[in-house]
Structure 1
Amino acid sequence: MVATDLTQRSEAPFARAISLAHQLGGEIIVAHVVAPGSRSDRDIVERKMADLIDRQSAGAGVPIAAKVLQGSVPSALAEAAQQCGCDLIVTGIARYNSMGDHILGTAVDHLVRHSKLPVLIVKNTPGRNYDHLLVATDLSNCSRHALVYAAEMFADPRIDLVHVYHVAYKPVLSSKLVAIDVQAEAEEELQAFIDDPTIPADVRSRVNAKAVRGDLTEVIDQRMRADDIDLLVLGTHGRSGLVHAMIGSRAAELLSWVPSDVLMIRESS
C-alpha cells in the first residue's frame, strides 16, 4: 500500500512501490485519507487519484488500485493495509508548514509503533533496486527479526550490520583497558547474535557485522554517508525496540537527516 497526499512528494514512494512490485511481485494499492464525512472532498480526491495513477503507472505493467480512506491518517492506513492483506506500507516525507502534513513525524511514529506491517519511508526517487542495506541492531530478538525479514525481502543487496555500544565512565588509568574489554565483549555478543539458529545460513553469509563504540545516531550517520547505503533497516516493537530506544517521539528529526530510505519492521511483521 502506497500512502499519497496527491502532491509531487508522493511520486517517489509511488515509483519505489512500482519498482518493488516488479522486483518482488505483487499488486499496488494507492491510498489517500480524507476527513470523516467529506463527501465532496472524496469525489475530488477520487478524480485526482485516477489522474495520479494514469500519470505514474504508464507502462508500469503491475496491477494498481485506488482506495480513499476516512479518519486519522496513520490509523486508517494501518487498518486498511492489514484488511487488504498488504505486505508493506510505503510512504514519503512531508514538509512542516501544514496541519495536513501527516506523513512525517507523529504519523510515522504511530505507524511504526502500531502497524503490524513493515513501513518503508521513501526519501529518494528510485534509480535502481536497493543495493546496500545497513541494519542497526541492539542485539534484541526484534532487531534479529528485522535483519532476517529484510534479507529475505531483498535477496541480492549487501548487508552491513552495526551494533553501537558505549563505554561507561572509568578512572583515566584504567580507561584503555576498560575500552579494550568492552570492545571484546561487544564483539562476542554480536557474534553470538549472528550465530543464533533463527538466522538462516544464507542470510548469515551475506552479513558484514561490526561493533562500533559511540553514539548511535552519529555512527549510523557516518556509516550511511561513507558506505553509500541506500536503505536503513530498523526493528521496532510497540513501545520497545530499537526505533523507540533510538528516537522515541523524534521520528521526524531522524528522518530529516537520514539520507537514504528507511525500512521499519515490527517483530510481529
Structure 2
Amino acid sequence: MLNSSPVVASERIVHRLPSHIVLATDFTARCDRAQDRAVQLAMEWNASLTAVHAIDDGSLSAEPLARLASQAAARRNARRLREELATMNLRSSVQFDIGTPATVVQTVAARERADLIVTGLTTSMLLGDLPFGSTLTALTRSSAVPVLVVKKKVMDGGARTLLATDLSASSRPAMQVALRWFPHAQLGLFHAFDPPYRMWAEDKASYARHFEQSALDECTRFVTEAAGEALQNRFDVSVRCGDVVHALRLLVDEGDVDLVITGTHGRAGVANLLLGSVASRIVNEIQSDVLVVPNSLD
C-alpha cells in the first residue's frame, strides 16, 4: 500500500501549515494554473515544492526509439522547469519517473512527506478513461494527503471558500484544514439534505422546507463540535434539498466561490468506490478549485 497511516497523515495535516507541496504536472500549458497556485502556496506557507511528472507506462510505445524519445523529452522539460523554479524564492526540485501516474505521484508524496498534492484538470484526467475513473480520481480517492485540483487563476488570501460536508466524522479533517490553512478566507459551510419519503409528498417544496430548519440546526451542532464555539461564527451556513452536487454547483455559481473543500470516506473496496463517487463528481462538475481532504477517522 502506498498510503502511510491516515491517522498520522491527518495529525500532520490539521495541526500545522503544509511544509512540503507536490505538484503533479504533465509539463504542458494545461498545468500552468496548477503550477502558479503551487508556487503561490509554497511561498505563502514557506513550504518546499517538488514537481513530479509521470511517464505513463501504459501509453508508452513498444518501439525502443519512441520510448527513448519520450524519456529524453521528459528530461528536457524537467531541466527547463528546474531552471524556471530556480529563479523564484523557494526550495524546489523536479522529478520524473515511469509508471502509473497516480502511483508515481503518491510514491513521491510519501517519500517527501508531502502535506499537499496540487494538480490541474486536464482532458486526460477526466472520468471515463478507466472503468472507475482516471488518474485524478485515483488520486482523490487514495491519497493519504489532501489533493488540490486547480481550475482558477491565482487567488488572494481572502478567497471565497466553501466547505461541503455530510456532517459525518469523516468531514472533520476537511473543516480543520479550512480553518488552519486559509485563516483569512471567507468561509461558508454547505450541506445537502434529503427528507425521508419526499417523493411521496403531495407538496414536495413545502415538505422540504419543513426539514430545512432541522438541517440548519444539525450544521450548527456540527460546527460547534468540530471547530468549537469560538469559531462557530466563522462559517456562513447554507443548506439545500436534493442532489448534493447539483445543489453545490448552483451555490458555487451564485456565490462565485473560489474554492470548495470536501472530505472522503476512508473505506476500502466497493464502499470506497460508491462513497468516493460524490467527491469525484464534485471535482469534475464544480467550476471552482476543489480541495479533497482524506478521512482519517474510520
Q: Output the TM-score relative to the length of structure 2.
A: 0.77
In structure 1, what is the equivalent of residue 55 of structure 2? 34
User: Structure 1: 5+ residue runs without aligned partners?
Assistant: none
1:134 maps onto 2:162 in alignment = yes
1:95 maps onto 2:123 in alignment = yes
Higher helix share: 2
2:227 aligned counterpart, secondary structure: coil
Structure 2 CA distance for aligned equivalents of residues 259 and 247 of structure 1: 19
Superposition deviation, residue 65 in structure 1:
0.2
Structure 1 CA distance for aligned equivalents of residues 35 and 230 of structure 2: 31
Superposition deviation, residue 170 in structure 1:
3.6
Superposition deviation, residue 139 in structure 1:
0.8
4+ long deviations beyond 6 Å: none
Superposition deviation, residue 263 in structure 1:
0.2
In structure 1, what is the equivalent of residue 78 of structure 2? 49
In structure 1, what is the equivalent of residue 277 of structure 2? 248
1:184 maps onto 2:205 in alignment = no
1:186 aligned counterpart, secondary structure: helix
Structure 1 CA distance for aligned equivalents of residues 122 and 244 of structure 2: 25
1:169 maps onto 2:199 in alignment = yes
Structure 2 CA distance for aligned equivalents of residues 224 and 54 of structure 1: 37
Structure 2 CA distance for aligned equivalents of residues 263 and 250 of structure 1: 10
1:59-81 per-position Cα deviation (integer Å, ceiling 9, x unaligned): 42111101112211101111210
1:219 maps onto 2:240 in alignment = no
8 A Cα contact 1:92 1:121, kept in partner: yes
**Aligned AA (2:210):** D
Aligned pairs for 1:1-269 (under 5 A) are 1-35=22-56, 41-55=70-84, 57=85, 59-96=87-124, 105-129=133-157, 131-167=159-195, 168-172=198-202, 178-196=207-225, 198-239=226-267, 248=277, 251=280, 254-268=282-296
Q: Percent identity?
A: 25
Summarize the Cα distance change of 1:65–1:201 in structure 2 as closer, same or farther, 3 Å threshold.
farther
1:142-168 per-position Cα deviation (integer Å, ceiling 9, x unaligned): 112211122211111011101111232
Structure 2 CA distance for aligned equivalents of residues 61 and 97 of structure 1: 31
Structure 1 CA distance for aligned equivalents of residues 188 and 273 of structure 2: 21
Structure 1 CA distance for aligned equivalents of residues 208 and 30 of structure 2: 45
8 A Cα contact 1:19 1:129, kept in partner: no
Superposition deviation, residue 184 in structure 1:
2.7
**Aligned AA (2:96):** V
8 A Cα contact 1:42 1:68, kept in partner: no
8 A Cα contact 1:216 1:246, kept in partner: no
Aligned length: 259
Q: Output the TM-score relative to the length of structure 1.
A: 0.84
User: Structure 2: 5+ residue runs without aligned partners?
Assistant: 1-21, 61-66
**Aligned AA (2:182):** F
